[in-house]
Amino acid sequence: MPTVRLRRLAAELRRLRTGMQLTREDVTAQTGINTATLYRIETARVRPQQHTLIALLNLYGVPEPQHGEIQALSQGASNQGWLRPYHSELPEEYTAYISFEAEARAVRNYESLFVPGLLQTEDYARAVIKGVLPMASTREIEQRVQARIERQGVLTKSDPLHLWAIMDEASLRRMVGGPEVMHEQIRRLTAAIAEPHMMLQVIPFNAGAHAGMPGSFVLMSFPEVEDPEIIYIDSMAGDLFLEAEADVRRYGAIFDNLRAVALSPDDTSRLLASLANEM
């Protein structure tokens, strides 16, 4: 399962190979490393074995001092401190998302129908998961609830994740779990607005059609400049990760458009207060 460090290692090995003007077939011919294996290494599907990595570095003419840096990157590529024993039973794409989120510096999240996962109360999360996965067992639901609540630790650690969340008003009007659950959820959102590392905006119904209507997305950025931003999209057809520069620019522009049409944080706070009173 990919991590930020594994993506960085894969990108570095691709850069070294193309810098030598070698195709994957050339590398296979000169090292005996299977072409399919090389493809999986260069797309961050797997971490290379030590002897495979050394063979690649030797072929690419990497100086000895740099060997140690790249090998250290490889050794840390599978280090996932967030992993819990039951996470192996969650979908691979979801655990990959948790891994990236745990290492991110900032997240920009647009949601059209849900409260963002990082801001959900436990009762809201349980009601959402039950509704979205009607065939899931009680055990599966509780595992997902636990994973979602554990994820929220990124907002309370000593160097917290910076979260900018934009929601459509529809996500607040839908009575997930009933009035009491929604009232508590809105109180949680109101508290989040006051946190310096969180920005929360709502796109009101009277804003009309907007660029976020096709669906939700998450844009994650990381502390190291070498680590490109990632777009994550969760859909009925499956989870999707995008990292091409064109996609990152496009979704970044969409997010900028959404924040422009959304209510200001102060107006969002007033809307939340009004909704809380209604409930």
Give per-residue pLDDT as tens, 29-52.
999 999 999 988 888 778 888 899
Residue 185 is predicted with a pLDDT of 97
Asked if residues 222 and 229 have their Cβ atoms less than 8 Å apart, the reply is yes
User: CA geometry: angle at 225 spanning 55 and 16, to 5°?
Assistant: 25
State which of 75, 95, 119 marks the end of a domain.
75
The pLDDT, as a whole number, for residue 12 is 81
Does 26 fall in a domain?
yes
In a shared domain, residues 71 and 89? no
Average pLDDT over residues 225-241: 82
> Rounded mean pLDDT of 87-103?
76
Residue 4 has what pLDDT?
65
In a domain, 189, yes or no: yes
pLDDT of 80 higher than 70: no
* pLDDT at site 93: 74
**pLDDT tens digits along 205-228:** 999 999 999 999 999 998 877 778
Q: Do 100 and 34 reside in the same domain of the chain?
A: no
Has residue 53 been placed in a domain? Answer: yes
Q: Provide the pLDDT for residue 236.
A: 76
Is 80 within a domain? no
On whether both 43 and 64 belong to a single domain, the answer is yes
- What does pLDDT average to over the chain? 88
Q: What is the pTM assigned to this prediction? A: 0.77
Residue 238: pLDDT band (50, 70, 90) is confident
pLDDT value for 244: 83
Residue 45 falls inside a structural domain: yes
Q: What range defines the domain where residue 36 resides?
A: 4-75
What is the pLDDT confidence band of residue 237, given thresholds at 50, 70 and 90?
A: confident
Residue 34 lies in a domain: yes
**pLDDT for the residue 100:** 83
Same domain, 137 and 264: yes
Domain shared by 133 and 235, yes or no: yes
Domain count, the chain: 2
The pLDDT of residue 29: 94
Are 9 and 41 in a shared domain?
A: yes
Whether residues 69 and 108 share a domain: the answer is: no
126/194 same-domain check: yes
| pLDDT at position 89 | 67
* The pair of three-digit structure tokens given for residue 272, joined into one six-digit string: 């939340």
Tell me how far apart the alpha carbons of residues 45 and 41 are, in angstroms, rounded to a whole number: 6
Q: Average the pLDDT over each of 3-12, 119-128, 256-265 and give the range with the smallest value.
A: 3-12
Q: Last residue of a domain, which of 75, 102, 119?
A: 75
Phi, psi of 199 (to 5 degrees): -125, 130
- Using one digit for the tens of pLDDT, what is the confidence trace for 196-206? 999 999 999 99
- Under 8 Å between Cβ of 67 and 185: no
Q: What is the pLDDT of residue 83?
A: 47
Q: pLDDT, tens digit, for every residue of 133-166? A: 999 999 999 999 999 999 999 999 999 999 999 9
- For residue 111, the domain's CATH number is 3.30.870
Give the CATH number of the domain where residue 32 resides: 1.10.260.40
- Does one domain contain both 47 and 98? no
Per-residue confidence (pLDDT) for residue 171, from 0 to 100: 96
**Confidence at residue 191, expressed as pLDDT on a 0 to 100 scale:** 95
Lowest mean pLDDT among 87-96, 153-162, 253-262: 87-96
Q: Is the pLDDT of residue 131 over 60?
A: yes
Pick the closest to residue 118 from 214, 183, 188, 216 (CA basis).
188
Q: For residues 65 and 30, which has the higher predicted lDDT (pLDDT)? A: 30
Looking at residue 135, its pLDDT comes to 94
Domain boundary (75, 97, 112) is at 75
Residue 138 included in any domain = yes
Whether 198 and 111 map to the same domain: the answer is yes
